[in-house]
Structure 1
Amino acid sequence: MERPTALVPRHYIAIGGRGPEDVVADDRGRVITGVEDGRILRIDGLTDPAATRVDVLADTGGRPLGLELLPDGDLLVCDAERGLLRVDLADGLVRVLADSVAGESLRFCSNVVALSDGSVCFTVSSRRYPLEQWIGDLVEDTATGRLLRLAPGADTPEVLLEGLRFANGVAASGDESFLVVAETGAYRLTRYWLTGPKAGRGEPFAENLPGMPDNLWRGGPDGLIRVALAGPRVPPLDLLRRGTPAVRRTAARVAVRAPFRPTGTIGVMAFDDQGAVVQYLARRRSGFRMVTAVCEAAGHLVLGSLWERGVAVCEAPAPR
């Protein structure tokens, strides 16, 4: 993989809440995010920090993570505590679309994408660890992540793919023939075919990434699939994964109790539908840490973070 180009920050916007884990942009260049206390926020005026306005649109009553704007203006939300939600941004009404699968409560819903046929596909990062113990799943490497689909009019999702190593971001190809799913624990992106001779099968899309892929974002069918890298590869973690399950479980119990502080190394990648790297941006010793999401808005890249109390606005890379 070629060396990265610089990820250039322009300014930081405090939003009055911690952990804007995902960021999505509407057609007016405003950014929508969810924070730790359950609120869904809209950030307007990204290019001028002095004039930026943050509005509260709704409260999920849980912990919102992945977001997807729908054509009618509603918002899909993967809530780590409540499941898959639909939020009316006009009046703040929150409706639960799914909170269980095959009799099992949906724990740790992560990211979501809506398809043109009305179906909704979303990920569950772990069936063993809740959000607040996410590091335990990465250390133990449980491979209990799932990709799910909620058909139009259905109230129970079906499992499309399981055995994923911390399933995270999800995005559709331009023609919706396949989905791309981030496996944070495997440093890879996986393709799941929706149509064609390989329908129902998963395969590698991009492997051996330089960091841990988190949320994915695509601005439209002709856009690139943007990938946030939440952190760099961790050699001791890779070594630990060669150990026995018992050793990994013991290490996970220690990890969830140990203080965590993310590194200052952050990155953003962009892929085309053939799995080729089109852009790779990175920054070391960044003051904005643990980048879990990226979107394009108002001619800039906007970064979200599970750790920070705001978003970072960065210079958009030159087209290639």
Structure 2
Amino acid sequence: MDRPTALVPHHPLHPLHYVSLGAHGPEDVVADPQGRVLTGVADGRILRIHHLGDPHTARTEVVAETGGRPLGLELLPDGALLVCDAERGLLRVGLDDGAVRVLADRAAGEPLRFCSNAVALPDGSVYFTVSSRRHPLGQWVGEIVEHTGTGRLLRLAPEGGEPEVLLEGLQFANGVAPSADGSFLVIAETGACRLTRYHLSGPRAGEADLFATLPGMPDNLWRESPDGPIWVALPSPRVPPLDLLHRASPAVRRAAARAAVHAPYRPSATIGVLAVDDDGRTVHHLARRRSGFRMVTSVCATGDHLVLGSLREPGVAVCARPAAG
């Protein structure tokens, strides 16, 4: 099913204030039950941000250091944190003691490269994405340009072991979130500007299909609660010349990718976030052109606020949460 999302924003996305973290690249943001926000930054630290609603009293604390580059985060029912580390693999981090344990650093006989996002289901299994088997995080733009389709969805069983590869051929697999009833997962394919559905149960279990097409490149996904929508970060709108390049030959795309990884990258000034329901319909669409806060790679909700993370910025942006409906 093909459900294009409107290009015109339903509401403007205007940050109320910013909270500096003293570090760059809070790539993913997740809210805990107390309304605090957790994020991982470029130097490997996991930070917890308090009092985000008030820029004068907001403060951060370091809760752990992964020794790598943390990307996607997922809170576990026991209070620990799942971390997809682009350098170290899938990690479990204790938020009380800062202990870091590697859950998986290999899959299908090869080292995990560019582990991106994870979600834990009630049965104890963990589903997570690998964005690229060809390009590391530092060359992510090369993966987008070359359009290799080497992204994966993997499953780590409750008893551990080596992860099972469930899906291959994904275009920069990124955020992942469960449906309300746990019957399927939604996966962001950044390089294809779409959300893909992977069926976990029912007659189509193990199959994937299109969930929604988007007006931009999706990054992290976040589900606040089973009865809430799935929030989608859009760091960039669609780029028509890039869509055209993706139809070129592999040799042309490889040459373009080699040039792209050595060229200065300036993020788009157009940012956005979406919220979709379990039928792929848009519940909220907020966007801003000429934004000073760029490359919004994540969004979460806490209280009356939306909190935006970014792979590039030195802090997070706090916006008003849209009204229900």
TM-score by length of 2: 0.97
State the SS of the aligned residue for 1:152.
coil
Equivalent residue, structure 2, for 1:10:
16
Equivalent residue, structure 1, for 2:121:
115
State the SS of the aligned residue for 1:72.
coil
Post-superposition offset of 1:239: 1.2
Structure 1 window deviating more from structure 2 (3-12 vs 35-44): it is 3-12
Post-superposition offset of 1:235: 1.2
Map Cα deviations across residues 239-270 of structure 1 (whole Å, 9 max, x no partner): 11111100000000000000001011000001
Count of residues in correspondence between the two structures: 319
State the SS of the aligned residue for 2:235.
strand
Distance 1:52 1:278 in 2: 30
Percentage of pairs with the same residue: 71
Matches within 5 A, 1:1-320: 1-2=5-6, 3-4=8-9, 5-207=11-213, 209-320=214-325
Distance 1:157 1:140 in 2: 26
Distance 1:70 1:225 in 2: 18
Distance 1:284 1:81 in 2: 33
Distance 1:312 1:36 in 2: 17
Distance 1:188 1:292 in 2: 15
Structure 1 runs of 4+ with >3 Å offset:
none
Distance 1:103 1:21 in 2: 28
Map Cα deviations across residues 257-284 of structure 1 (whole Å, 9 max, x no partner): 0000101100000100011111110000
The amino acid of 2:139's aligned partner reads Q
The amino acid of 1:221's aligned partner reads P
State the SS of the aligned residue for 1:68.
strand
Q: Is the 8 A contact 1:181 1:189 kept in 2?
A: yes
Post-superposition offset of 1:319: 1.2
The amino acid of 1:315's aligned partner reads A
Post-superposition offset of 1:298: 2.7
TM-score by length of 1: 0.99
Distance 2:28 2:305 in 1: 16
Map Cα deviations across residues 205-253 of structure 1 (whole Å, 9 max, x no partner): 001x111000000011111000000111111111111111000000000
Map Cα deviations across residues 103-151 of structure 1 (whole Å, 9 max, x no partner): 1100000000000000000000000000000000000000000000001
What are the ranges of 5 or more consecutive residues in structure 2 without an aligned counterpart? none
Q: Is the 8 A contact 1:46 1:298 kept in 2?
A: no
The amino acid of 2:290's aligned partner reads R
Distance 2:236 2:268 in 1: 7
State the SS of the aligned residue for 2:252.
helix
Map Cα deviations across residues 144-192 of structure 1 (whole Å, 9 max, x no partner): 0000000101221001111000000000000110000000000000000
State the SS of the aligned residue for 2:132.
coil
Distance 1:66 1:299 in 2: 23
The amino acid of 2:201's aligned partner reads T
What are the ranges of 5 or more consecutive residues in structure 1 without an aligned counterpart? none
